[in-house]
Amino acid sequence: MDEDSGDLRSISSWASEALSWLLVASGNDAASSRFAPAFPDKQKQNNKPLRFSHFARRCASKKNKNKLPSGDNDAVYFTPVKRDRAPIIARIFRPLLRDLFVFKVVNTILTHLGIDSDFDTLQLYFGEWLRSLPADAIKANMSGNWRPMVRWLHDMILNAYQRNRHNPEELDDASLEKVVKLESLLKFCNEIEDLPKAFFIAVICIDAVSTASLQIEEKTYGKITQMDSIRPWETLLRRLRVCLLVSLRLSGEVDSGGFNPMTVSSVSKPGTFSTYAWIAKDELTLSHENQVLMAMETAYMSSSEAFYPSTADGDATAHKKAMLQSCSNSQRGSLRSPSGLTSDSLSPPLLFYLKDHGRCTTRLAAHRALILVGLWGQTPGNMLLLRRCVESLQIAQENTNQFGLATLLEIWQSRIRPVFQSLMFGLGIADELSHEVFSSLIEDRVWLSEFTFHARTVLGMILECTSKNLTQDISDEDLVSDKSEMWPPLRECPILSALVSKLRPVKSSSVMLHHIVAFTFEMTHDIDSIASAVPSFTSLFSVGSLFSEMPPIPKESIEQRGLIDQAIVDRAQKSSSNPIIDNFDCIKDVELVGKAFGLDPRYTRTRYLVEIIRLGKDASINDLLGGSSAALMKPLFIEELVEILCVRLHGIISSLKRTKQYRGVVSRLDAEASTWVKEQAERITSQDDEYTPVSLIITHSLILRLRSMAENDALSEQINSLCLISETLLKAVREQEQQRVMDV
């Protein structure tokens, strides 16, 4: 018990951190996806003697790796194939697993092989052996006085110093400095994918370097210092800390392609990993709400509590605890659909440790869009994911960036276009779509309407980008120059750069045509009518259609006018629930499509008001009617309203005739005018249009307004006849009501 307590008291802060990372990693998905292949919990030790023939076949000279050494002074090396030399290396270093009194056996073997002075090779073999060991074997060397692995490295460094001192020609000062720093092992640890194990090995190495270099510093009077010698290892350990933090927080999902191993070396190389993708994915584990996430980005940019784990700030006990807590949650990496930050999000996110990325809001938004649309592709019925994706795209292209357009095109081409192509031409045409999944979704009008709206929004953003000079949200200089101590530094994103490299010139006319078709489909769902109105319809929604010039659309065809009329009916039905409509903003998009078809915007506005009145919502447009006569096609408006009024009056007259007490009222009407109203109403109501009945008072009010707009022509005479009928009816009904009150 006392001995164990002494070990715990003597354990270094680096060793303590290594044990903590191992503990957190053991319960994380990254343990199987990233660390397990090189970090077995148990390893079968082959204790059988190795046959000399097997040993000999795995030996070679340094000059010729395929031949055995021939001279007395030739050193014996092992085959360059790591797998084949592993059994020999395991047997050579096995004494280091026992106790301090037998570790010198290792040096004896290496001396007999003639490689005891080849310090680079010794470090390489030692590193390979350490990497093959199970966790428990390395953990035993984290603390205490009996640390054979540390002692062996320590003695190797001192042996190099002695050789330099007695024979500087064999090992010059520059080479000695490399051995003291264990540079070969440093490079080896930089390339280990098993991050917890790399951290363990680095702790063993820094401890050996620290003790050995302290002795050499005294002997060289500061020519080689302990501080300079351990600095590269401190840098490595802090970078390993960052890699562990990222990998564990994201449950090992650090590479969208899944091909690149996560090592300090690979993360250091530009163009391998995207820190923006890491942060974006981590953000989405907290919330899918862009406003929430952007507020978080702004807050951490100016936070005095945020720190860089790759610096000495990360060595503080409280900061280590915060990082470990960030990775200990079992739900990390779960991209569900939270609406906002929860109590679980009290542990700091990745952005807290990489806060410089907070100013790259458009890049982060672009990655969120890519991730969300990928999730939507897996569950296309969840339209909230696509909606959040489109919201992220709107942020990504705010500054009309090149990568914003590239992201828009990627999402359109890979996810949205195939669905629209299937909608227009049948499910079988897009091989990437599941017929079983999408056949039921396409029949769902709510899903279809929302999807079409989002598709049209994406096309609108593409069109907006093509009409402007594309820029970047921050300058290349700001990206490349690492003005902070953050690692990985702020730099270009390989994922977005790859998308930008695929950019092709987009034809605005083609995007506009796709947008028109998407809009008309959203409004009408009438594919046959769309195909008739757009002659180049069959060329749309293919892989290259946005990049090809499309023939101009013929203007003002019957089919086009019919599509606009359908769209107006749909929009009027949706707008009729509003109590007050005081402008034409709700049909701006319909006007734009109408203009593309060559239709006067006044036609669109006229048809819209007519539809609102036909639905019986006269009161909602009273103010709009009073000030919009100049924005209308007045003759068409009056003509359409005369028909609506005929239907209304005929309905009122018919209703009065069915009531005994009001039959006498109808007899007061002009017979010729009544017959004309009846004939017009019957002709109009024989069509499919529906007319909402309204009160006599509202009808009379509309007739008076219409009479003020009419000029002296045939329509004016008709309006006067309608006005006479409504006035007569209104007066007679009021008299009848008054008489009934008096009788009571």
Do 387 and 462 lie in one domain? The reply is: yes
pLDDT of 333 over the 70 cut: no
Q: Which of these, 400, 402, 394, 346, lies nearest to 369 by C-alpha position?
A: 394
Last residue of a domain, one of 501, 521, 553: 501
Task: Band the pLDDT of 62: cuts 50, 70, 90.
Answer: low
User: 120-174 pLDDT, tens per residue?
Assistant: 999 999 999 999 998 888 888 888 777 899 999 999 999 999 999 999 888 999 9
Looking at 216, 249, 282, the residue that finishes a domain is: 249
Residue 382 lies in a domain: yes
The pair of structure tokens assigned to 229 is 């010698």
Position 115 pLDDT exceeds 70: yes
Residues 146 and 236 in one domain: yes
Residue 107, in any domain of the structure: no
Question: How many CA atoms does the CB half-sphere of 564 hold within 13 Å?
Answer: 30
Q: Which two tokens stand for residue 266?
A: 């690979």
Q: Does 318 lie in the same domain as 240?
A: no
Phi then psi for 556, rounded to 5 degrees?
55, 45
Residues 202 and 142 in one domain: yes
Provide DSSP, 110-175: HHHHT-TT-HHHHHHHHHHHHHHS-HHHHHTTSSSS--HHHHHHHHHHHHHHHHHHH-TTTS-HHH
Tell me which residue of 276, 278, 277, 280 sits closest to 293, measured CA to CA.
280
C-beta contacts of 268-272 below 8 A and 24+ residues apart: 268/190, 268/239, 268/487, 268/488, 270/491, 270/492, 270/494, 271/492, 271/494, 271/497, 272/494
Considering only CA atoms, which of 194, 191, 187, 259 is closest in space to residue 38? 194
CA distances to 99, 144, 534 from 4, rounded to whole Å, are 17, 9, 83
Do 194 and 321 belong to one domain? no
Tell me the pLDDT tens digit for each residue of 717-728.
899 999 999 998
Asked whether residue 345 is domain-assigned, the answer is: yes
Query: Which DSSP symbol is given to 491?
Result: -
> Domain limits at 347?
270-501
Size of the chain in residues: 744
Same domain, 123 and 180: yes
Q: How many domains does the chain have?
A: 3
Same domain as 275, residue 219 = no
Q: Is residue 665 part of a domain?
A: yes
Select the more confidently predicted residue: 479 or 639: 639
Residue 8's pLDDT is 40
How far, in Å, CA of 682 to CA of 668, rounded? 22
207 with 151, same domain?
Answer: yes
What residues form DSSP beta bridges with 78? 59
- The answer on 388 and 328 residing in a single domain is yes
At 394-447, the pLDDT tens digits run 999 987 789 999 999 999 999 999 999 999 998 877 777 888 888 889 889 999
Query: What is the b/e burial string over 317-327, where b = at least 16 CB atoms within 10 angstroms of the residue's CB?
Result: eebbebbbebb
Task: Give yes or no: residues 362 and 393 share one domain.
Answer: yes
CA distances from 361 to 354, 372, 397, 404, 546 (A): 13, 16, 10, 12, 28
In a domain, 258, yes or no: no
Within 10 angstroms of residue 30's Cβ, the number of other Cβ atoms is: 26
Residues 238 and 372 in one domain: no
pTM comes to: 0.81
Phi, psi (degrees; rounded to nearest 5) at 60? -160, 165
Pick the last residue of a domain from 454, 469, 501. Answer: 501
Beta-bridge partner residues of 401: 471
Q: What is the pLDDT of residues 519-572, one digit of tens each?
A: 889 888 889 989 988 889 999 999 999 999 988 887 878 888 888 888 898 888
Amino acid at site 53 = S
pLDDT above 80 (res 347): no
d(CA 436, CA 380): 12
Q: Do 228 and 287 have their domain in common?
A: no
Query: Residue 145 falls within a domain, yes or no?
Result: yes
